[in-house]
Amino acid sequence: MGRIAKVVVEISLDREFDYLVPAGLRSVIAVGTQVEVPFHGRDLRGFVVGLAERSAHEERLKEIAGVVGERPLIPDRVMKLAYWIAEYYCAPIEHAVRTVLPSAVRRRGAQAKRQLVVSLVEGDVGCLSGLQARVVALLKERGPLLLRAVVEELGCSESPVRTLDKRGVVSIALAEQGRDPLAGRALVRTAPFELMEEQAQALGIIREAMVAEPRETVLLQGVTGSGKTEVYLQAIQSVLERGEGAIVLVPEIALTPQTVERFRARFGAGVAVLHSGLSDGERHDEWHRIRRGEARVVVGARSALFAPVEALGLIVVDEEHEPTYKQEESPRYHARDAAVMRGRLEGCCVVLGSATPSLESCRNVKRGLYRLARMDARVDHRAMPVMRVVDMAAEAERLGRPSLFSAALIEGLYDRLDRGEQVMLFLNRRGFSSSVQCERCGYVNECSSCSVSRHYHKGAGKLICHVCGSEERVPGACPSCGDPTFAYRGSGTEKMEEVLGKLCPRARIARMDSDTMRRKEAYQEVLDDFRAGKIDLLVGTQMIAKGLDFPNVTLVGVLNADIQLHVPDFRAGERTYQLLTQVAGRAGRGDVPGEVIVQTYSPHHPAIRAAQQMRAEIYLEEDLAFREELSYPPFAHLVMVTFRGLEEAVVMQECEGFARRLGAMLPEGVVAAPVMPAPLARAKGFYRFQLMLRCEHTVKMTAPIRHLLGQLKLAKGVRVTVDVDAMSLL
Ligand code: ADP
Ligand code: ZN
């Protein structure tokens, strides 16, 4: 089968081209094979992403010239996973294949960087000039060195080395040099800890799941600081001892450098790290190190799930509840769910870890699909932080005006700083204020392409749209009525930092958000300074919420817990509970017990009470009842079909037309909501309308959608996206 191969060529990765498969190559060409093809008079390298019997361009087809390499680049099971993703998430197979094979690996240009290495040749060195003698002495002392290093060290040109090479005293040769993304960071190797009792039990359950037939998925529910990472490390140790490999997914690698370092510290060079900050060359090298079996432990964000690890024994998904595991472009896969699927295809155990598991995973435990391992105590029985909830409405009443910092938080701050302890303050909104309004006529600066107000960024002196990034200088006066006074509503991290500077003039403050962390190294630098005690107060957005472990942090403040709570999304409560618990988990990780102060206008909301009392049940009960009643996840799967286009009426018509035709095809058990404007009704100039479907079986929704999309003729300029198991409803 497969007369025609669909090939993506290296210079145009977004498009595939059809080629004839010569009869002699039929048996060796499969999806995943790298090939050589003629392309506009050149020979290019390409990659087979699909096979077909027919082509729309039959008369113009050229033949594939040859096959590169002995085996397909993508391991068979990863290829199967790509097909599953395409099918389940209603995405073209080409998108799925592109996702499982990084472009850095597909492209020829990205071959391992080869560097010149100089080494001494045995034998008589003869008579040398002064510089030449120094080169020889250096190599005698240090062994073979990069040519570049020799030149730098001696402050000379390459010519004395080249001369020595000609005379046969030294040799200069090309050597493949793996670019190590963590080079330069000193690592102290760690030995396994002796496990706490709960950790040992959890590890026992995981070990059982690793040999059970079929292999099982384990939900490791452990409070912050209970030592989940140590359990992963020791589980991986057993995997390695059996000669197998492991993949560890972390939500955002830039935000979890400490976790990554712990894997490197335990397993050394056997760990490959994949993340978005890598250069193409680094990514290419890491990928091939894994493919060759030199690195058998892979740590990375979402896409590391597709690493070509052979004999996979374990997949760990840390912080499994994190919405960042969902890719927000096609293919819109959820890495946690895809991980469970890869586990099934590979026949390997999957561990999902979290202090605040998603309701989906909790339900899978209830249904007997996953095993549960719980760790309710912190390592060494350190106290869980005490959470105080401050009612900001009462606070405003007392002060006669709303304030950013409550008296309790200010007092706590002073107290901790006096004692030389550190504080983290969290506010999930960057910039200075979320809107700028004229005090006289009420004019608000809104983005011209999106249905949101622009945020004020004081440092930059600009109003910036957080959806499309468009900016404007701050006007000197209201463009509508000419009045010069503006009200700045909805404080962000920039404002928090400014107010804090006045409250604590002597404290050393650092702010961490995507505005201050533009440079690649900035994040690590601030964290290093914080660890070294050069910073007293760390303020920031969710960037500081996750995974950080600083023993001297004894107070964590949440300035406004309501921001997350009032997002128009049925998961708003769940997310608030998770976020508060995560943030709180940063406090009291050392010997001094931690304290958390949460400011809110909704002190009695179940999500906040649940986080305060560390009892997920409080909030779960209420939320689960409502979700079951309305067939929301985890009781059903959810598919969001979004139409967008430049003309509002046309987009709405298209969406409604689609909904009508689909409605006639939907089987029993599918709940279809009426067509609605999306909560973010306009973004980047596009009007957006949505159709939400819910059903216990995804395929009952995706099969008819796929069928209908196949015959759909959309009005010009209208686009449609299908988001299966959507995490963002905006
Ligand atoms: P979690 O990921 O559950 O928040 P961590 O894995 O970060 O917890 O563990 C918290 C701290 O306890 C870390 O500093 C870790 O090195 C330490 N730790 C973990 N397990 C043990 C143990 N068995 N004995 C001593 N220290 C441990
Ligand atoms: Zn905008």
Relative to beta strand 595-600, strand 553-558 is parallel
Interval 242-270: pLDDT, tens: 999 999 999 877 667 778 888 989 998 88
588 lines ligand 1 (CB under 6 A): no
Say if residues 263 and 187 touch (Cβ distance below 8 Å).
no
* DSSP-based three-state secondary structure for 393: helix
Delimiting residues of CATH 3.40.50.300 domain(s) in the chain = 197-380, 386-432+491-623
Interval 506-563: pLDDT, tens: 999 999 988 888 877 788 889 899 999 999 999 999 888 776 788 899 999 999 999 9
Residue whose CA lies nearest to ligand 1 atom number 2: 228
Cβ-proximal residues to 479 (8 Å cutoff; 6+ apart), any chain:
443
- Predicted confidence at residue 544, as pLDDT, reads 82
Distance from Cα 445 to the centre of ligand 2, integer Å: 11
pLDDT band per the 50, 70, 90 thresholds, residue 76: confident
Delimiting residues of CATH 3.40.1440.60 domain(s) in the chain = 4-106
| CATH class of the domain defined by 637-724 | alpha beta
Rounded CA gap, 34 and 41, in Å? 19
Which atom of ligand 1 approaches the CA of 547 most closely?
4
Interval 312-371: pLDDT, tens: 999 999 999 999 999 999 999 999 999 999 999 999 999 999 999 999 999 999 999 999
Rounded CA gap, 638 and 632, in Å? 7
- Of residues 103 and 191, more confidence is placed in 191
Angle between helices 147-154 and 159-166 (to 10 degrees): 130
| Superfamily (CATH) of domain 4-106 | PriA, 3(prime) DNA-binding domain (3.40.1440.60)
The tokens for 307 are 């690493």
* DSSP-based three-state secondary structure for 478: coil
Task: Tell the residue number behind the tokens 């960057």, with chain if given.
Answer: 430
Which atom of ligand 1 approaches the CA of 585 most closely?
4
**Which DSSP symbol is given to 71?**
S
- Predicted confidence at residue 12, as pLDDT, reads 58
Which atom of ligand 1 approaches the CA of 355 most closely?
3
Select from 426, 328, 358 the least CA-distant residue to 642: 328
The tokens for 48 are 């087979």
Delimiting residues of CATH 1.10.10 domain(s) in the chain = 114-176
Say if residues 165 and 150 touch (Cβ distance below 8 Å).
no
Rounded CA gap, 506 and 508, in Å? 7
Residue whose CA lies nearest to ligand 1 atom number 20: 227
Is it true that domain 114-176 has CATH number 1.10.10? yes
230 lines ligand 1 (CB under 6 A): yes
**Among the bound ligands, the one closest to the CA of 318:** 1
The answer to pTM > 0.85 is no
Rounded CA gap, 300 and 303, in Å? 7
The tokens for 50 are 């699909």
Please, what sign has the CA dihedral across residues 304, 306, 310, 315? positive
The tokens for 382 are 């350190």
Residue whose CA lies nearest to ligand 1 atom number 10: 225
Say if residues 308 and 291 touch (Cβ distance below 8 Å).
yes
Confidence check: pLDDT of 109 > 60: no
Mean pLDDT in the chain?
88
221 lines ligand 1 (CB under 6 A): no
Ligand 1 test: best mutation among 193, 199, 230, most atoms within 8 Å of CB?
A: 230
Q: Where are the alpha helices (DSSP H) in 45-146?
A: 76-88, 93-100, 103-106, 130-142
- Predicted confidence at residue 179, as pLDDT, reads 52
Q: How far apart are the first and last CA of the chain?
A: 43
Select from 279, 302, 304 the least CA-distant residue to 290: 304
Confidence check: pLDDT of 240 > 70: yes
192 lines ligand 1 (CB under 6 A): no
Confidence check: pLDDT of 420 > 90: yes
Delimiting residues of CATH 3.30.70.600 domain(s) in the chain = 637-724
| CATH class of the domain defined by 386-432+491-623 | alpha beta
Say if residues 278 and 180 touch (Cβ distance below 8 Å).
no
Which atom of ligand 1 approaches the CA of 194 most closely?
23
Say if residues 717 and 647 touch (Cβ distance below 8 Å).
yes
| Superfamily (CATH) of domain 197-380 | P-loop containing nucleotide triphosphate hydrolases (3.40.50.300)
Select from 529, 538, 482 the least CA-distant residue to 510: 538
- Predicted confidence at residue 25, as pLDDT, reads 85
Select from 514, 561, 565 the least CA-distant residue to 540: 514
- Predicted confidence at residue 112, as pLDDT, reads 43
pLDDT band per the 50, 70, 90 thresholds, residue 71: low
225 lines ligand 1 (CB under 6 A): yes
Say if residues 400 and 554 touch (Cβ distance below 8 Å).
no
Distance from Cα 463 to the centre of ligand 2, integer Å: 11
Confidence check: pLDDT of 215 > 70: yes
Residues 411-437, mean pLDDT to the nearest whole number: 93
